[in-house]
Structure 1
């Protein structure tokens, strides 16, 4: 991985894809150097993450470091002027811990279960 900010996301998840498409559009329109990799593509091999781990949460690399979950969102939001206020707010002590708990124990598992159901449905078709 390079030092540029890169986002690994699940384009097969309608919720994830919609959110990341919004960020991608924003960064591209403003020439903000953020790259986006779909975990369902060959790009996943560059991340050194297995497909299951990748599908369970958002991953971002920046300055050679790998972040996942809420810390990944904080890195991504910090890159975009419109979202820096959100990065500052969610990064505050207490709020960050609550956001991590909500993402790690509710939102990410729910999205992952939906992902597994979509995969099972696709295999059954």
Structure 2
């Protein structure tokens, strides 16, 4: 690469211009796709914290709903949440929480690609109900 930059003929400059243009396109692609990984990480954190709340409370109800609202406000995402069970969950009984989020990958005004991100957490109740 240094030899091409030091070369006094004009062919080296064209090669360098193509390489720089290619690098800029790769960086532009990375900056448009990288936020998806951040959103997926936030969604995973959202489901894990909701699952932990249900494990501690031993039920899916008002506590998990208030925790869901708090997480939506704090993380700035608003996923659709589905529970495998509702109401009281007996000790060591398994449940799942699934959260889905529509996310738009786009290149500004050029294209729009909506994708669905999903996260699932499995937990066991830690409360014994008489």
- TM-score interval, normalised by the smaller of the two chains: under 0.3
Q: Counting strand residues as a fraction of each chain, which structure ranks higher?
A: 2
If the length of structure 1 is used for normalisation, what is the TM-score?
0.26
- Which one has the bigger helix percentage? 1
